[in-house]
Amino acid sequence: MLVGGVTSYSQREKIARFLINPRTPYQTYVRPAAPHYESEDAWAALPWKSSRAKELPEGLMTIAMVPEADVFYIHPTTYYKAQEWNGPITSRKAGIRVDEIALPVQASAFNGAGRIFAPRYRQATLYTFQTHNHDGRLAQRAAYTDVADAFSYYLQHYNKGRPLIIAGSGQGALHAIRLLQEFIVGKDLQHRFIAAYIIDFALPLDLFDVSLNTLELCRKPEETQCIVTWNTLQSGKDPHEIRDRSQVWNIFGSLQKTEGRPLACINPLTWAENELPAPRSLNIGGIAVDKKGNSGPVPQITNAQCREGVLYVNKPDDQQFQRLEWPGAHYRLANYNFFYMNIRENAILRARTFLNKRPSQDRTSLAP
């Protein structure tokens, strides 16, 4: 019994991957129906639609919105069934995870910086991030196609020349990287680009030499037209999964491994690129979330330090921050809610800084 138990434990990752493998070859797989972004049902959040992206942490009385700016937010993986390579946007459970967790924990951090647009998309399912096989790559490419279609629709029908922030988490951050490569870098839209928040995904520094070569990392809290990124891990844990198991888009729209490539990391407590430790006293407030709403900000819940492209944090004492309500989402994945108020204030600062550089007549024309 003991030998069997040890064997099962050592093989747990292989067993887990086997259980969530769709098995149907992607070439014969029938994808779920495509979203139609002219329909509000294809969006988790729109400025005129009721959603938890509009929530405020308990105790905050006003959104203090920057009315001239927009935020395009891309949610992380929330679909876990093994039958699909790409999850349908009509999935009830996956939709609840977006609406009741991702929007209030992540997207709402940006509602002080602008109007929030958050598309639903046929996300690549969990297994595709556990393998580097061709089928998984095809599923991720299909997911990005939806995100790009949503972004194109947003630009054509909703943006109306407004400056924008792009924000993503996990899989959403992967697709946000490709949006930057395809729509922002070297394009006219870069002139209206405030910043990108690429959170909970590995971002190799060498991308700034080629596919992100007109952008830079945000190395100061007020910098604009740049990229913020970090990927959180508990101090003392093995960073192998973060550093070496990811794949990222290259300039040609193909996925390449991050293994062996130096990664970018911006500390959300100092908004600097260095590896100096940032004490918890700089953390102005994390939030927890449940069906009733966002908690009030809890200051000083954790410290943070970038080391070799990974953001290390200590385990918070407050149990409500130790786990989110989705599989495997231990606090190491709480890349947003640990630093919620720091993100909130920073996004507002960058949006205001960007808009203050624009001529006053341009700002007046962008009012909602």
pLDDT per position as a tens digit, 271-288? 999 999 999 999 999 988
pLDDT at 291 over 70: no
Residue 86's beta-bridge partner residues? 124
Residue predicted with more confidence, 213 or 29: 213
Mean pLDDT in residue range 112-137? 86
pLDDT at 327 over 60: no
Task: Using alpha carbons, list the distances in angstroms from residue 223 to 297, 332, 348, 350.
Answer: 25, 27, 12, 6
Residues 6+ apart with CB under 8 A from 194: 69, 113, 163, 164, 165, 224, 225, 350, 351, 354
70 secondary structure, DSSP code: E
pLDDT at 93 over 60: yes
pLDDT of residue 267: 98
Q: Within its chain, how far is the Cα of 139 from the centroid?
A: 18
The winner for highest mean pLDDT among 4-8, 27-31, 223-227 is 223-227
Residue with tokens 């596919």: 211
Widest CA span of the chain, in angstroms?
Answer: 75
pLDDT at 76 over 90: yes
pLDDT at 245 over 80: no
pLDDT of residue 21: 65
Q: Could you write out the DSSP letters of every residue in 263-285?
A: B---BTTTTBSS---B-GGG---
pLDDT at 182 over 80: yes
What's the pTM value of the predicted model, to 2 decimals?
0.90
Least confidently predicted of 172-176, 185-189, 294-298, 360-364: 360-364
Domain ranges of the chain: 33-365
pLDDT at 9 over 80: no
